[in-house]
Structure 1
Amino acid sequence: MSITYKQLKTLEDLTPCEGLQEAVWKFNKSDIIPPRFMRILCKHGGFAMGAFDESKMVGFVFGVPAIHYERPSQHSHLLAVLPEYRNHNIGYKLKLAQREDALSRNIDLITWTFDPLQSRNAHLNINKLGAIACSYDINLYGESSSSKLHSGLGTDRLLAEWWLVSDKVNTIIGGHDHDTVKKRSVNGVKINRTEHDKQGLLIPQDPDLSQTADKLLLEIPDDIEKIKGLNIQTARKWREVVQKSFINYFNARYYINYLQVEQEGNTRRVYYVFERLTTQYRPITLY
């Protein structure tokens, strides 16, 4: 597979993004960002890059101008890759291209939101790209949308902060920390306990919101989509546990620095690692 990448600037360039939004998220037409609007934003501080298999667009990233921490930044609103082209690092390479463009314009922060229960997306954002998270939105896009991906669990989102010139990001992007990330293991205090039911689904107990250790572990399911398909009530319990935990510990001045993944027999165990902020939050100097 030979994938090429091209910055999208013209209306003709951006038109295929409409079909990809529909294919990836199954949006109704009313929820799709039209190419004309994308072009205007790209002309005034935004960014779009497409991934192509020959002439066919198979993925794209789209960011808009933003202000964060009272400084110019970019908010990456969409990252889409067709299902049959996933697991080929296409999304990762699109993000790297977005980073290079931002740095060329003296922008050192890109933000985006992601579903806290999607473990593989969290791994990409936090471990492979080096983003951190310290804020949580309940139903950012409303309780539901036209996308089937959002059915049943609302649209709670973590905000990823990608500090492009931080030591952490430079080390990870430079390829010096990949083995460390894969093998990293923290002896932190667990916020939640879990057990398996008769179907083999991972069931969460209520979280402990009174912990004060420097490092805390919040377990999430490896595959929330499987749980949604088999037992929506269990999936909703996961949302409740994760929501309560993030809001409580973010308010207590913790943040997410990486995701810990462990293999336990045939089971993949996934944990967000909370770390305590020990200084006044100044992200650009903290990392």
Structure 2
Amino acid sequence: MAGPRTAPPKELGPALLSAERAALAAGVTLRELHDLDAMREARDLLHRVWRPAPDNPVMTPELLLVLAHSGSYVVAVEQDGRMIGTCLGLLSTAGLHSHIAAVDVGAVGRSIGFALKLHQRAWSLARGISTITWTYDPLVSRNAYFNLRKLGAVPAEYLPNFYGAMRDGVNAGTDSDRLLVRWDLTAGPAPRPTPDSGRTGEPPVVALDIGPDGHPVQGERPGDLSQRTVLIRVPPDIEALRTSDRAVATAWRPAVRDVLGGLMAAGQHTVTTFTRDGWYVLSPRLEFDA
């Protein structure tokens, strides 16, 4: 299945080289899976990481096998012959949708996620696919920085409670709001606007910030934001906050849904980047669509 645009051969060579370098830097190898035993091993890894409810498996080996056989992306990350990571991507109308990934706890922090994404990029370009989509929790700042700043993916849609009530060990007890992002594999480097002004030159509007007690605090918003840069802050580590102060962590979901989700739904702004210190930067849409 081809994506919306066939990638020129000149883009595939550099993509393959970048993927090889990223895997080497992470000390891993990546390979596509095709047999049922490997699918069982991938299923077990997914369950160790995501800890689903017993009656609600993340994925079955048989379905993984069917997806791989029909051309989807089913890949293992291996170190010294042992599977330490896995990823599933589904062919879609947009190109490839990266659905779920898992990396063993002991291997986190070694840039394996970056190696996986560059492998996906090369895999997709080799098949004429020029767009990869995926979703992530907009409250997880490390994922926001990785997706938007390091990879240059662009948020396309805010999806409130997308998966409904979650029952796995990672997300249980929280609404499953997600940002759908699109990664254009043939685009040049994304613009990195600084959060200093909009088209009018006025200072940015802080629409959401962190209060002294850790709770979300909505700022005063002028009546017309269409020409203004808007800043939305999220906690530095929402996952730790869910353990240390559940009430504060829970308050952040509706606040971000209201402000970030509301501005994206209004259509006047584009999320252009995410800063290292935890701010979503939304710029007037026409400024970057021109």
Structure 1 residue 123 corresponds to structure 2 residue 138: no
CA distances 1:55-95 after superposition (whole Å, capped 9, x unpaired): 21111121011113xxxx11110121112111111011011
Q: Please report the TM-score for the alignment, with normalisation by the length of structure 2.
A: 0.81
Provide closer, same or farther for how the CA distance between residues 32 and 152 of structure 1 changes in structure 2, counting only shifts above 3 A. Answer: closer
Assess if the C-alpha contact under 8 Å between 1:153 and 1:235 holds in 2: no
Distance 1:166 1:203, change over 3 A: same
Structure 1 position 166, deviation (Å) = 1.0
Q: Deviations over 1:208-227 (max 9, x none)?
A: 56533442110000011222
The 3-state SS of whatever aligns with 1:75 is: strand
Give the total of aligned pairs. 254
**Contact preservation (8 Å) 2:46, 2:86:** no
Unaligned stretches of 5+ residues in structure 2: 1-25, 197-203
Identify unmatched segments of 5+ residues in structure 1. Answer: 170-176, 263-269
Partner of 1:273: 281
Check if 1:4 corresponds to 2:34. Answer: no
Kept after mapping to 2: 8 A contact 1:61/1:95? no
3-state SS in 2 of match to 1:196: coil
Instruction: Report sequence identity in percent.
Output: 27
Matched, 1:93 2:115: yes
Question: Where in structure 2 are the equivalents of 1:199-238 lying within 5 Å?
Answer: 202-206=214-218, 208=220, 210=223, 211-238=225-252
Inter-partner Cα distance in structure 2 for 1:148 and 1:9? 28
Paired with 1:190 and 1:238, the residues of 2 have a C-alpha distance of 16
Specify the alignment match of 1:266 in structure 2: none
Q: Which residue of 2 aligns with 1:259?
A: 274
Which structure has more relative contact order (CA 8 Å, sep 6+)? It is: 2
For 1:207 and 1:142, how far apart are their aligned partners in 2?
A: 29
Is the contact made by 1:193 and 1:204 (CA closer than 8 Å) also made in structure 2?
yes
Q: How does 1:149-228 map to 2 (within 5 A)?
A: 149-168=170-189, 185-187=194-196, 188-197=204-213, 202-206=214-218, 208=220, 210=223, 211-228=225-242
Pick which of 11-20 and 237-246 moved more: 11-20
Report the AA paired with residue 66 of structure 1.
S
1:177-209: CA deviations, max 9, x gaps? 9xxx7xx74223211133222xxxx22113556
* Residues 1:4 and 1:219: Cα distance change in structure 2 (over 3 Å): same
Question: For residues 99 and 208 of structure 1, what CA distance do their matches in structure 2 show?
Answer: 41
Alpha-carbon displacement from aligned partner over 1:7-56 (angstroms, at most 9, x marks no partner)? 22222332211111111111134222112111211222311221112121
Find the residue that maps to 2:218 and give its secondary structure: coil
Over 4 Å off, 4+ runs: 207-210
Q: Flag the 1:107–1:214 CA change in 2: closer, same or farther, 3 A.
A: farther
Report which of the two has the higher share of strand. Answer: 1
Please give the TM-score of this superposition, normalised by the length of structure 1.
0.82
C-alpha distance in 1, partners of 2:243/2:205? 31
